[in-house]
Structures are given as C-alpha cells and as structure tokens.
Structure 1
C-alpha cells in the first residue's frame, strides 16, 4: 500500500459523514443556545474589532483579529474553494455558507472560552486555546494533552504544506518558476519571521492581511462585472446543485455537503479550535468582546473572501467537476485538462483580463499563504508551550521550528493531492476533539455572554469580574 492509499484511508476515517453532521448540528445548537449571537451581535462585532490596545502581555483586538484572519484567509480561500467546486460541484459553495453561518456561533464559544481560561507564559505573554480550557475548565489533563499533540501535528506538520504547495504550483503556472527555488525562498522568509516571536507575527499580519484581502476582492469584483450576464445563472446553479436539483449534479448532493463542510471548516476554522489561540492573546476587558470579534472573522473569511473566489470561477465558467465514482472522468468539463486548485482562479482572471490573471493570482497567493503559515506556526507553538507547562525551552523551540520548516518544504515539493489530504486529516482530528470539548464546557461561555449583555443593558462597558461566583475565574482575570 503506497503513501497515497494510506493517506486516503485515514482521510476517509477522520472525515466520515459523522464529522460533517457534527459540525452542522453543533453549529445549529450553539446558534440556538446563544439566541443567534452571530446575527444579534453583528453591530457589536464591527465596532469591537477596532477597539482595544496591545499591552505588555497581550495584543490588541485588531491584531488578534488579523492573526486569526491570517490563518483563516489563506490558500483555502483560493485553491480550497476551487477544489470544493471540482469535487462537490457548485452546490458545495452553498454548504460552505451554511457551515460559516452556523460555525460563527461555535467560533464565538471557543474564543470566549479561550479568553476566560488564558494564562501567562514564562515570558509574561498571554497564551490560551482548547488545551488550556480543556484542562482548566474540564479538569482533564490527558484530554488537553491529546488536543495539544493533535494540534502540533496538524498545524505544525500537516497544514503548512497545503500553503507552500499552492505557492509552488501558482508560481510554476504563472512563470514556470522551478519548484525547489520557490520552496527555498519560502523557507528562508518564514524562518526569518518565526524566529522573531508572536509580536513579530502580529505586526506582520496586521499590515499584510487587510491589503491582500482588499486587492483580491477588487479584482474579483472587476471580473464579475465583466461577466455580469452570467451572474444570475451562477446563483441559480449554486442553489440547484446544493439540493440535487441540477441535471448535471443531481446525484452529488451528499458529495456537495461533504466537500462544502470540509472546505468550509478548513477555511474558516470554526469549531476547529485554531482561532481560539490568537483570541486568547488579545488584551480585552471582557472575554465576550473577543468572542464576538472572532465570530466576525468567520464571516469575513467565508462570506466575503471564499465567495469572491467562487464567484470568480463560476461566473467565468473556468471549472471542471469530477465524477466522485471515477476520479479520472468529468461530469462537467468546461476547460478540458484544467486541474483543480489555483489554476481555476488563474484561468478565470486570465479569461476576463488577458495577460494579467495568472500573474495576479500567483502574487495574491503569496501573502495569503505566507500569513497563514505564520498563523499555523503560532497555533502549533502555543501548544508546544502548553506541553512544556508554559515554559519556553530554547532547545525544544529550536527543534520544533526546524521540524515545522522541514515539513512545510517536504509538502511544497510533493503531490498536491497528498498535501491537501494531510491538511484535511489535521483539521479533522482537531475538530473532533475540540467540538466534543465545547459541548462539555459550554456553560462558562454562556454565563459570560449573560454577564456581558447584562452590563450593556445597564449602560456599562462590560468588564469581566470573576469575583462574581456565577463566572469562572483564572489567575489572569483575578484583580
């Protein structure tokens, strides 16, 4: 049995229909329990993301948002969306929207918990995430260690390869750049940043993320305007395909749901637990404030950036859909021979803006993937620090950074299919463990939400005071 077969078998076990259903049902459950905070809290989300300042121990709300968006807004928003369409049909986009809407409530709960149970490491910096709230909130150290190990493997060894592989592929498509040169350049630049620590990651992210997303959205809007006559049919085929009503994709409803949810979770990370790590690093007066900000980041990722990619591809018609029962054959072949991934998007922009598309998408992928790699590193590093009991061991961290770089470069120079499958396995493992923890530990987050809303209802700026015995306390919040 070859590596491809082993990876495919593991992927089928981790991303079984049970996990797909769990992501949707838990998102719906938390939506009901929070009385659809992802809708009610939208005005507060937009206001809070620009409030707050960094401190000696933590970053600002906007820096934390930028760090989480660095992880969420990445190659998954380009190549991941293209792969969802290629293997799930246009209807997969509808299910990406659904998992984002429902998942925003899960993101709220996990980020609020991350703030409640955050701690200071040996350097005085805030650290937090699922491993921390599992140990402190549930009192189950073994489960916390299991999550931390899965995150070190997923975010430190498996997921970075999807980003580096896409960069190599995009530059090869645009300019024929040799793979090994691109990989070496990526490794050099990433090494320079990750050895600078969390503050450098936050500083780089808050500068790059807004500009890279804005530039990409502007080009997507231009391409859609140029293909305006195809837009009504584009929305129609998304909805028809999502419910198996389209003649070409009628038998793909199950595949559409699976690929939509899988790619949605990989992109927006709602319920996966990775977004809780930068959320814990924020300096805020109340945990719910950062919970709301992180819920909004799910919308920005999926409803805005992922949708822009889908609209680019579908309005230009530069996509193929593969038969899930016979991977070598097409159900639809609009551009015969066109492979799924960044090339779908490059071809879409190239069709509308000849001589511009391939190079622009290649350049757009570079900051998208680069900032995601940095955010994945931070998430994995936080869990290494947790396993070291909040101590920063220079030797252990140096070895971890070296392993991170080697794993990233290995996937950059190997099969895209294997790279993405390994990334999906990492996402699935973390999601299984984190969602179960959220269900067991939901009460503190819901209590914090009630406290926040009571303060706002009384006309006060919410300040978290754990001396109120209805609220959980950690050493960070004791005043």
Structure 2
C-alpha cells in the first residue's frame, strides 16, 4: 500500500501539480498587477483594522489566525526536515519561491471565498472553494467532490499526521507513551471543537501570535549566534536549488528536479496556498473594509509568516547544525529537528521542540476540524447528529495517528492534497476574471480616497450568483 501511494504521489507531484501550482501563481501575479509586491501596503493597512468586531462573522484577525493555525502545524517542522532530507538544501529556495508566488494564489482564492459567501441558518457567514465552485461556476458536483476530499484530508488524514508528530516528539523528549499522548491531545481538542468555527477562532487569535513569535525568535537567536556560518548556508541553498554543486558529477538535472518538487510540495503543505483550505476561514470573516479583496490582502500575510518566517527558521536550524548531512538525516522529520537544535544549543532543546510541536499541531488540528465542519454543511449534512459524528471521527483519528506509522500517512496526505489542489486551481483559474474585477474595484476606491465597499450591483454579470443580504450596497461610514 505504501509503495502504491508513493507511486501515485510521484506521478501527481512529479510534474502536474508542481507546475500547475507555479503556473497559477504566476498567472494571478500578472493578472492582479503583482498584488503581493506592489500592493502589500494594503495588507498592513487592513491588518490595523482587522480586530474590529462586526456582525455575522469572526473578525479578519481571527480568520488570519485560524488560517495560520491550520498552516502552522507539523509541516513547518517535519515537512521542512523531510524536504531537506529528500531534496537537499535547495528545496528551501523553492519553498520560498512557492510562497512568494503562492501569495497571489492565496489572495485570489480568499477574495473569491468572500464574494460567494453565504449565511447559514444561524446567521453566520460560511463559504470556501465548494461554494465558489457551485455559485461561481454552477458546478455543484465538482464542489461536492472537493468538499469530500477536504473532509478526508482535514478531518481524517492531516489530523493523523499532526497527532503522529506530537506523539513522536513527546515520546522522544519525555518518554511519554504514544497512546496516552494521543488520548490527552484528543481531550484538549474536544474542549475546543465543540464550539465550532467561532470557538476555534477565539483560541487561535490568542495562541497563534505567541507560537509564531516563540519559534521565529528561536530561529533568530540561532542565526545571530552562528552568523559566521550564515553566508555558507545561503550559498548552499542557492547552489542546491539549481544543481550547480552536482553539475560536475552529471546529476544536476535530477537534483534540480528533487529540490523543486520537494520544495514546492512541502511549501504547499505548510502554507496551503492554492490548496483550498484557507478560504474556508476567510469566508467566515466579516472583514473591514467590507470588500472581498480586503480579506485577500489579510490572508496573504499568513503565507508570508508561515513560509518565509516560520519555515525559514526551521530550515536555518537544520542547515546550520549540519545534522541533516549525517546518515541520520533520513530519520523521522521531527527527530531531525530536535537533534539539530540540540546540537546547536544543548540537550534541553529536544524538550523545547516537543512543547513547540504540541502547540503547533494542537492549533492545526482544531483549525482542520473547523474546515471539515464547514464542508460538511456544504454537503447538506450539517445536522447536530452528523456534526457530532464528525467530531468523534476527528478525535478518533487523533488517537489513532499517535500510534500509526507516519511513513504511510505522509504519502496518503500527499495524494489527497494533490487532488484537492488540482480541483481548486482549475476553479480559481476559471474565475480569474472575477478576481481581476474585484481587485480593480478595491484599488480604484482606495485611489479615490474612499473606504472600499463591495456593491454587487456594480458587477451585473455575477450579481445574481451572490447572496443578496451578505453585502450592503451603501458605502460604510
């Protein structure tokens, strides 16, 4: 089974998904006028007002933190370690490229999630890829397929990955029994997920800034204390990215392919740009200014924080330690990170990493549940009994993942993720005229000095697909 999953994953990621992801990012970069570079100031301005509470939805800051909670999981530690082990230091470069290009993709999918969001029976906003596929493209069956993949990925597989990473880290650092660890994490997660998206968002807005600051700060301390090795590390990353070191040995093409594939693959698993997950949180936000593009700008910051800061901190720790160059580099990813930081700072680092992993993976599990519940509602299975069944399945996978082998879970996660990416990217490419029009509308109002607001009547070609009571036609005060 494991060999079959690796075979399918290699086919999907070897060319199709990698180049579709990069191509889509480049398309939206050009289509939106290089939005992640020229207009990043809008992200800063919208973040200043992102904590303002508004009716019917979570705040923009809570949506950002929920998106980060899902992004910032074991992929930021284990995924980076596995990418470096499989693709060499050059994989880090392609992770950076995937993030910079993926910011435009993230902007597009989150703006679309806002355009086509709806109100549920409780008056709360819901939306995401399944909704903009159904309402924007009129293809409900395609939306159902994506929702099923997302349920499997975020409700089942990814939570097993996170739980497995927690169990490995705590067992390595504190000799905690893996099953006991899984049960304890399941209990903690259960206390949060019973409160739905709103409960997850409230926890995420307090935990995520703390976790991000702690890990980025750790990376900065390591960099400062080993400044003499930093130039060599950066040179190794760039040379490895293009296979220059291996050119003389005649293996440059293979090395470049490995670095590119592993860097983009693990970068996506970490920042989730283009996967179709973050839009589920973005759609739940009552953004200020009341315009779909505002949430797109805010969520772009999540990609930047996740990959260019948090993943880079992990990569620096691994590469500066030199542990990844040893025969132990093929070991479980989280053990490699623990060994690397211990080598640089002392034996206490293994226990510190275990606590960091617990926080990372805990927030990721609760955010994953929120996404799964959202898509259960899209499938018209949002009754109280079915939601409780989903919660039991999620918590069961947390327990099961703590005692399962990650060698089987990772390739399964890769296959499901690839299928989700393909469906979502095709959908947002088909809806790219809407993204362009919405972006231009937002920037035009900013240029005029007005507070941007979204009036569906200015877009007659799509106005009848937008829920009428979600957006007010009157300009905000």
Q: The TM-score by the shorter chain falls in which range?
A: over 0.9
CA shift, 1:469, in A, is 3.2
Supply the distance in 2 between the matched residues of 1:6 and 1:407 (Cα, whole angstroms). Answer: 22
CA shift, 1:6, in A, is 3.3
Greater displacement, 88-97 / 412-421: 412-421
Counterparts in 2 of 1:142-161, with a 5 A limit?
142-161=141-160
Matched with 1:316 is 321
Matched with 2:441 is 451
Greater displacement, 200-209 / 222-231: 222-231
Please say if 1:433 is aligned against 2:423.
yes
CA shift, 1:244, in A, is 0.5
- 1:231-279 CA-partner distances (Å, limit 9, x unpaired): 1110000000000011487441101111001001110111111011110
- The partner residue of 1:51 within 44, 49, 61 is 49
Which consecutive unaligned segments of at least 5 residues does structure 1 have?
A: 321-333
The answer (yes or no) to whether the contact 1:227–1:316 under 8 Å persists in 2 is no
The answer (yes or no) to whether the contact 1:86–1:340 under 8 Å persists in 2 is no
- The partner residue of 1:342 within 334, 339, 357 is 334
Matched with 2:135 is 136
Counterparts in 2 of 1:236-251, with a 5 A limit?
236-247=235-246, 250=252, 251=254
The answer (yes or no) to whether the contact 1:106–1:271 under 8 Å persists in 2 is yes
Which consecutive unaligned segments of at least 5 residues does structure 2 have?
A: none
- The partner residue of 1:257 within 260, 264, 283 is 260
Greater displacement, 341-350 / 369-378: 341-350
- The partner residue of 1:383 within 375, 379, 382 is 375
For the residue of structure 2 that corresponds to 1:467, the secondary structure is: helix
CA shift, 1:74, in A, is 1.3
Supply the distance in 2 between the matched residues of 1:145 and 1:44 (Cα, whole angstroms). Answer: 34
TM-score by structure 2 length? 0.94
Please say if 1:233 is aligned against 2:236.
no
For the residue of structure 2 that corresponds to 1:461, the secondary structure is: coil
Please say if 1:358 is aligned against 2:350.
yes
TM-score by structure 1 length? 0.93
Counterparts in 2 of 1:281-430, with a 5 A limit?
281-284=284-287, 285-320=290-325, 334=326, 336=328, 339-388=331-380, 392-430=382-420
For the residue of structure 2 that corresponds to 1:64, the secondary structure is: helix
- 1:401-428 CA-partner distances (Å, limit 9, x unpaired): 1112222322221111112222222211
CA shift, 1:25, in A, is 1.0
Supply the distance in 1 between the matched residues of 2:10 and 2:403 (Cα, whole angstroms). Answer: 24
CA shift, 1:215, in A, is 0.8
Matched with 1:12 is 10
* CA-atom RMSD in angstroms: 1.6
Supply the distance in 1 between the matched residues of 2:132 and 2:329 (Cα, whole angstroms). Answer: 48
Supply the distance in 1 between the matched residues of 2:472 and 2:346 (Cα, whole angstroms). Answer: 60
Paired residues in the alignment total 462
